[in-house]
Amino acid sequence: MTADPRRVAMISVHTSPLEQPGTGDAGGMNVYVAETAKELARRGVEVDIFTRRTTGETPVEAELVPGVRVRHVTAGPYEGLSKEDLPGQLCAFSAGIMQAGLSVPEDHYDLVHSHYWLSGQVGWLAADRWRVALVHTMHTMARVKNLHLADGDTPEPIGREIGEAQVVEAADRLIANTDDEARELIELYAALPRKVSVVPPGVDLSTFTAGDRTAARSGLGLPLDGDLLLFVGRIQPLKAPDVLLRAAHELIRRDPTRRRTLSVAVLGGPSGSGLTRPHELEDLAAALGIADVVRFVPPVPRPVLAQWYRAADLVVVPSYSESFGLVAIEAQACGTPVVAADVGGLPTAVGDAGVLVQGHATADWADAIGGLLADPDRRRALGDAARAHAQQFGWGATTDRLLAVYRQAIGDRTGSPIDEGQGLVGVPTAVIP
């Protein structure tokens, strides 16, 4: 049987696991990279995470935890580059990784795991140079996003689609968050089914725990009474926080007395195409006449984020596309019911422990939210179910599956007699029925 890797090179070109999720390009992928790296280190696997240096003050190396190094690579100017500018810096980033590789023995790394298509392009070269297997996680895909664009949002460029297709072909193994994403890889990118493994992301079950709502509100300085609706995430059209604002406006229109009891919190910062219109959501709240019930909160550390989840009556996730939906599973781990769009990986993240809404019509979202606010018994039942549902998504379980994929990729690369048609226990090989 193939052994676990000793050392893994993770590549996350456009965003560092040291950054605060919730603004710019930092989001669920940052959490995924950091948490899986820490779990691998707990199992004795050393991890080097290569990411782009974005300030002159950033150290060349930083220790995330013992056994996990973040290595910052200089590629282009430190500041002023958007994610869309980075394809032009991939050659420089690749050269930086190759230079770093000269300081270690040729067989130092056993495997490369790249995250997002930009990293896949670099990982393809690094894995070939080091003669090791390449495992790749897309996180998001251009062809999927372009099928589910929000009104007025900018389509992903054809260059990204081509780059993703190249990575799909080059990778030894592809990690999908859900069965639905596995199917998209196969149907939209012609991925070989035997190369695709489903490994759901996780949640930090030691941080995101249930607690007293009143105590959480008191600690955050929030009113102890009334209904609190919470959106958490990067503020951009793809994440659709405007859907929550429009639904809140509709609820108040239907019952003007709600203005005295309803609060909406939007926790996050501008990202993606939202960076070009950083105040659009505030302007929308003013135009709808609900600025007095909406508060905007910048990204916060995870222990504080858990307090926000506990304080909320409902967490609303109205995205147009989600590969999984970490916000949904974090909220559920805190015992807070979730109302989410029925798209991408959200049905997997939410399960039967929340409410899924088809489409993004304001009336439908107002109906779903208003119905739950009017039914505290159902909210309590969903909160209990949500907490139980979230327990199966710990990062330890994710990493167990990830290691199984690593072993499979290394075994295939070195000619280990693994029956690819059977897959590994707990790591299904994706197929189209």
- Whether domain 7-202+396-412 has CATH 3.40.50.2000: yes
Consult the annotation and say whether 140 binds a ligand.
yes
Q: 213-391, which class in CATH?
A: alpha beta
* pTM to 2 decimal places: 0.88
Instruction: Quote the pLDDT of residue 275.
Output: 54
Answer whether 7-202+396-412 and 213-391 agree in fold: yes
Consult the annotation and say whether 239 binds a ligand.
yes
Consult the annotation and say whether 160 binds a ligand.
yes
DSSP string, 97-152: HHHHHTTS-TT--SEEEEEHHHHHHHHHHHHHHHT-EEEEE-SS-HHHHHHTPPTT
Domain ranges of the chain: 7-202+396-412, 213-391
Consult the annotation and say whether 177 binds a ligand.
no
- CB atoms < 10 A from the CB of 79, how many? 8
Give the single-character DSSP code of 295: E
Instruction: Quote the pLDDT of residue 419.
Output: 38
Instruction: Quote the pLDDT of residue 295.
Output: 96
Consult the annotation and say whether 146 binds a ligand.
no
Instruction: Quote the pLDDT of residue 304.
Output: 97
Instruction: Quote the pLDDT of residue 426.
Output: 36
Give the Å distances, CA to CA, from 180 to 80, 144, 308, 365: 36, 11, 30, 24
Consult the annotation and say whether 25 binds a ligand.
yes
Instruction: Quote the pLDDT of residue 55.
Output: 82
Consult the annotation and say whether 28 binds a ligand.
yes
> Could you state, in chain order, the average pLDDT of each consecutive group of 10 residues for the chain (433 residues)?
90 86 72 96 97 86 95 86 85 90 84 96 94 96 91 89 96 96 97 97 95 97 96 92 98 97 94 65 96 95 96 97 92 98 94 96 98 97 97 95 96 56 38 34
Consult the annotation and say whether 27 binds a ligand.
yes
Paired residues of 61 in beta bridges: 71
Consult the annotation and say whether 300 binds a ligand.
yes
